Amino acid sequence: MINNYDVLGSLNNLQQWMLLNHKSHKLIYLIGLLFLAAFIIKTITDKFRIPSVVGYILLGTLFSESVVRSLSFLPREFLAWHSYLLNTLNFITVLAVSFISFGIGTSLYIKILKKLEFELTLIVIFESIGAFVLVTGIMLLLGKDLFVGILFGTIATATAPAATVMVLKEYGIPGEFSATLMVVLALDEFLALLIFSFMEPLSYILASPELELTLTNMLFEPLVRVTAAILLGFVLGYISQYLMVRCDSESRKILLILATIIGTSAAAVFLHISPLFANLTVGFVYRNIPKRRLNVSDKIDILTVPLFATFFILAGTKIDISNLFNPGFLVIAFAYTLMRIIGKVGGAHFGAKFSSAPKHVEDYIGFGLIPQIGITIDLAFIIQKDFIHIPGNVANISMLILNVILFTSIFTEIFGSLATEYALIRSDEMKTKIGWSFLEGE
């Protein structure tokens, strides 16, 4: 057993090693290089109308261990430092997840939900269940363990709104179809987080030979954690928005929202509950409790540009290039992508049909649900972090899941943008000019 003196000695040795080798200086060099590279990538992707996230991930691939270790001229010390640095920056994942979850919460506007309650509920439930069932099923048919199928299926339920929102803003002509799609995206992410909160612990139990599946650890414990996260987010969010309304300085508002989101994440991690649901609740409170809009989304969008750029670059460093030449990996990636798209598009179609939604919503709403970069990568990162300690081959499987999500996200981000444009054109949305008042609930 390792005592505290051993740990303290190890930390002192690490500190001395970093000081002697000027590692903190090299960290600054690398961060500066990453930001410069991110600026170049952003400039190129904007010019060619490619989602910037795709560029960030491809850039991160160049810094991945599979690429760096293939460069035989690099000294062993550099390889060790590179691996240490990537592990050191893992905290950025928690921050990125927190801000993304907060953004999801601010999209859940009660007035809109009341307007489209039944229609939206069936669409979201059907497309989420469709993706989950088809992806889980295909993984089982490919011979994967049940917990692997459940994890893939759970991740498949999530849809990332960034690419779709980018297309809607580009055309700038929102109508009923666009409004419905925006709210479906927000509800979809909420449901995906809810499903993940229950399915990930279940998969962990199934993957761990020493753990026994019981009603308590399968249902009761996840329910307690989700409830605690919601309560934490509501309390901190209510206090924060109360102070925000009374702030007359933009700088104080920015500091308050940063302190709220990061502080909520810290409290959730300390209490061993979900920072995702806690910050989602904070965002929900910010959007619905104040009598006037606080307009924090614009501030967050600007502040998080370097954070998200760094997050997606780091995500790219997890890619193993050798998988491109692995037929088994390519089969899994293709099967996952195909079944997810069929489940999303088909499920949304039937959900809209059963809810008697307008014909154009029924036929084309699913084509706006294809992109997955963002929340899916967050969930895959959480799986990789949580499952890495399970003995056996589980750690490799969690890395496989992350790589599949990263590879397929590049395709779905590009194809998803085109599919959204197709849906807008086919639904005659371009001809419908009713303004953003529908989204604002006015």
Residue 394 is part of which domain span?
91-440
Calculate ∠ Cα 180-420-133, nearest 5°: 75
Residue 5 banded pLDDT, cuts 50, 70, 90: very low
167 vs 206, more confident: 206
Residue 237 CA to chain centroid, in angstroms?
A: 21
The whole-number pLDDT of residue 19 equals 54
Model confidence band, residue 148 (pLDDT cutoffs 50, 70, 90): very high
Asked whether residue 56 is domain-assigned, the answer is: no
| The total number of structural domains that make up the chain | 1
Determine what percent of the chain is predicted with pLDDT higher than 70.
Answer: 85
State which of 47-51, 217-221, 405-409 shows the largest mean pLDDT. Answer: 405-409
Q: Give 251-301 pLDDT, tens digit per residue.
A: 888 899 999 999 999 999 899 888 888 999 999 999 888 877 777 777 787
pLDDT of amino acid 267: 95
Confidence grade of residue 75 (pLDDT, cut at 50, 70, 90): confident
Q: What is the pLDDT of residue 437?
A: 36
Domain assignment present for 197: yes
pLDDT at 107: 77
Q: Looking at residues 89-118, what average pLDDT do you find?
A: 78
3-class DSSP string for the chain = CCCHHHHHHHHHHHHHHHHHCCHHHHHHHHHHHHHHHHHHHHHHHHHCCCCHHHHHHHHHHHCCHHHHCCCCCCCHHHHHHHHHHHHHCCHHHHHHHHHHHHHHHHHCCHHHHHHCHHHHHHHHHHHHHHHHHHHHHHHHHCCCCHHHHHHHHHHHCCCCCHHHHHHHHHHCCCCHHHHHHHHHHHHHHHHHHHHHHHHHHHHHHHHCCCCCCCHHHHHHHHHHHHHHHHHHHHHHHHHHHHHHHCCCCHHHHHHHHHHHHHHHHHHHHHCCCCHHHHHHHHHHHHHHCCCCCCCHHHHHHHHCHHHHHHHHHHHHCCCCHHHHHCHHHHHHHHHHHHHHHHHHHHHHHHHHHHCCCCHHHHHHHHHHCCCCCCHHHHHHHHHHHHHCCCCCCHHHHHHHHHHHHHHHHHHHHHHHHHHHHHHHHHCCHHHCCCCCHHHHCC
Is 11 among the domain residues?
no
Residue 18: the pLDDT is 54
User: Which contiguous run of DSSP H or E holds residue 355?
Assistant: none
Cα separation, 392 vs 105, in Å, equals 38
Averaged over 367-383, what is the pLDDT?
85
Does pLDDT of 10 surpass 60?
A: no
State the pLDDT at residue 17.
53
User: Residue 67: inside a domain, yes or no?
Assistant: no
Confidence (pLDDT) at 341: 95
Q: Which residue has the higher pLDDT, 35 or 143?
A: 143
Is 294 inside a domain boundary?
yes
239-258 average pLDDT score:
89
* Domain-embedded: residue 338: yes
Rounded distance between C-alpha atoms, residue 189 and residue 159, angstroms:
6
Find where tokens 């979850």 sit: 101
**Is the model more confident about 82 or about 199?**
199
Q: Is the pLDDT of residue 404 over 90?
A: yes
Residue 380 is assigned to a structural domain of this protein: yes
Note the pLDDT of residue 372: 84
Q: What is the pLDDT of residue 424?
A: 79
Query: Quick check: pTM over 0.95?
Result: no
Residue for token pair 């999801």 = 104
* Residue 132: pLDDT over 90: yes
CATH value at residue 125: 1.20.1530.20
Q: Is the pLDDT of residue 429 over 70?
A: no
Q: Please write the tens of the pLDDT for every residue from 309-358.
A: 888 888 888 888 888 889 999 999 999 999 999 999 999 999 989 888 88
The pLDDT of residue 430 is 55
The average pLDDT across 387-414 equals 87
Average per-residue pLDDT for the chain: 82
pLDDT in tens, 176-227: 677 778 788 878 888 998 899 889 989 998 988 777 777 777 788 888 989 9
Query: Average of pLDDT values for 35-51?
Result: 85
Give pLDDT, residue 23. 56
Residue 149 has pLDDT above 70, yes or no: yes
More reliable by pLDDT, 20 or 264? 264
Tell me the H-state helices in 209-249: 215, 221-245
User: Do the domain assignments include residue 70?
Assistant: no
